[in-house]
Amino acid sequence: MAKHGGLHKMMDVDLPILTDSGGFQVFSLKKSQVDEEGVTFAYEVDGKKTFLSPENSMEIQQQLGADIAMNFDECLAFGIDKTAAVASVDRTARWAERCKKAHTRSDQSLFGIIQGGFWPDLRARSARQITDIGFDGYALGGLSVGEGHQKMCEVLDYSVDPMPVNSPRYLMGVGRPLDLVEGVARGIDMFDCVIATRHSRSGMFYTDKGRIRMTDKRFRNDMYPPDTSCQCYTCTRFTRAYLHHLFRVGEILAATLTTIHNLTWYASFMARMRQSIVDGTFESYRQWVHEIYPEKTEGSSKGDARRSTGKNVKKRRK
C-alpha cells in the first residue's frame, strides 16, 4: 500500500478514509497477551506470533495514509472486573501518549479513544486522561461488545458530556439504525460498522419499512425491485426474484448488489437525520426510527425493550 502512495491511490477512492489501530482486532482474537509494551498474538492463518505496539501501530497507519488514524488502545471485554478495568484504562492512556509522540504525519488526523467499560467514574477518568493529552477528535470504545441497546444508551448518557464539544465525537463499532439515532440524540457525530456489508452477504436489505431478507422463498417469483422506494443501481435494474436466484446459487454478485443498496440506504438514512436536526424535526425522525427498527429486531439483549428517552439532541457547531 505504501508503494501505491497509500489507501486512496491504491483503491482510487477520493473519499475520507479512517483506519483503526488494531486494538479491537486484537481484542477479538482468542489468544493474545497484553503487557506494558503492547500485545502479542498468534496470526490466525499459520499461528505465527505477531507483536503490535503503539509505535508500530502508528507506523502502519501513517503508511496506509488514511485521513484519520486511531490511537492504539486496549478494548475492555463486557463483564470484566473493575480492578482489571482500572489498570486497562490507565494503560490505554499511557499508550495514547506514546501514539501521539510517534505520530508525525501532519496531513493525517489522530483520534484518541476513551475507554472505561461500564463504570461512570472510569469513563470520566479515561476522558480526562485522553483529552488532557489532546487529539484531533475523540472516540468512545468498548461498546457494541454484547451489552445490548439499553446498556449502550446508559453508558452514552454519562460518557458523551466529558468529550470536547468542538471536536468530532466518534462512537466505534455501532451501526444499527436504532443505535445510530440514539447516539446522535446524545451528541455523537461519527460512527462505523460492518453491518452494511456483513448483512448484505446473507441477503439482508435495509429499507424505510424495515429489514427484508432476499433469501426468503416468497421472493422466488417476485418481479418487484428489491426496495420499491430506492433509486440505487441495484433497485433500478434488478428484481427480487433475480437477487433471490443469485443467493440460491451462491453467486458473489448477490452480496455486491445488496451492498450497493445497503450503502445507499444508510447514506440516505444519515443525510435525512442530519436534515431533521437542521429543520428542528429530529424528535419526529427519532420516533419513526423506533417504529421501523424497534429494539426487539435490533439484536439487543433480552429484557426491557421500552424506548430509551435519553437527552435531546445537543446543539453543535456547524
Active-site annotation, residues: 20, 192
Residue that is written with C-alpha cell 471536536 in the block? 167
Query: Which residue blocks in 253-309 are alpha helix, DSSP H?
Result: 253-279, 282-292
Burial of residue 186 (number of CB atoms within 10 Å: 0-12, 13-18, 19+):
buried
DSSP class of residue 163 equals: S
Could you please report the per-residue DSSP string of 79-93?
A: T--HHHHHHHHHHHH
Pairwise CA distance, residues 149 & 151, whole Å: 6
Which CA distances in Å does 190 have to 113, 167, 220?
Answer: 13, 11, 38
